[in-house]
Structure 1
Amino acid sequence: MSSAVSRIPVADSAESLQHFENLLRFETDCWDVHHALTNDRKDFVLLDVRADILFDKGHIDGAENLPHHKMNETALAKYSKGTLFVVYCAGPHCNGTEKAAIRLAKLNRPVKKMIGGVTGWLDEGFELVR
């Protein structure tokens, strides 16, 4: 008798390697962002893509606020074309990061999602600023 876990056959090692390496091309996590911010290794722009009012209530220190619906060429003009953007929103229950990533990709801008968002940031014990 098989479980729901093993009922669908597992991918072979080569497929697993490709899949998980590809995920890291699209995502980063709170720890990696925190490490970059606190060790002078920030080589990206951290964008909080939530509404201005939520940003004002608390955000990651060093983040800029650019709600996903305001992303356009004009809003991004101050950044070079090769700038890597790392986007975050409220958390796993929010799809603002996906909306922002889609807009940035359509504008031919490099983008990664910070998985977990504000919820993940707080769960890891990191603080927000106002």
Structure 2
Amino acid sequence: MFSTVVRPRPASSEEALAHFQRLLTFETDCWDVHYALNNNLRDFVLLDVRGIDTAKKGYIEGAVFLPHANITEAALSSYPDDTIFVVYCAGPHCNATEKAAIKLARLGRPVKKMIGGVIGWLDEGFTLKADV
């Protein structure tokens, strides 16, 4: 008898490799974002896509505040079409990143999600800036 952990059986190694490699085209993590921001590797725009009241409690320094509800072509007009956006929200319990990523993708913009959001950022021991 097998546990529910291995039922259904894991994918083949080839399928797992393809899946996890593809997953990295959609996601990045707090550590990689922090490293890039602190080592002059700013080849992306970090977007805080939470609401203003939540963002006022603290945000990642270097992020641009743009709530997911306000993402429009006009709001992005100052960015070249090939700008890569990395979106974050409160954390795993929040789906603002998915809402933002959908809007960005519909506008033809490259986008990745920073997994973990603010909770992941703090879990890594990184700090937030307190004014918006």
Identical aligned pairs, as a percentage? 64
1:1-20 Cα deviation digits (max 9, x unpaired) = 21111121111111000000
Q: Which residue of 2 aligns with 1:129?
A: 129
Unaligned runs of 5+ in 1: none
* Structure-2 separation of matches of 1:104 and 1:115: 17
The question of 1:21 aligning with 2:17 is answered no
SS at match of 1:73: coil
Name the TM-score, length of structure 2 as normaliser. Answer: 0.96
Q: Which residues of 2 match residues 1-130 of structure 1 at below 5 A?
A: 1-130=1-130
Separation in 2, partners of 1:57, 1:6: 41
The range that moved more, 26-35 or 53-62, is 53-62
The aligned amino acid for 1:28 is: T
TM-score w.r.t. length of structure 1? 0.98
Q: Secondary structure in 2 aligned to 1:37?
A: helix
Determine helix, strand or coil for the equivalent of 2:112. strand
Question: Greater helix percent: which structure?
Answer: 1
**Unaligned 5+ runs, structure 2:** none
Cα distance in 1, alignment partners of residues 125 and 42 from structure 2: 20
| Paired positions, count | 130
Give 3-state SS (helix, strand or coil) of 2:122's partner: helix
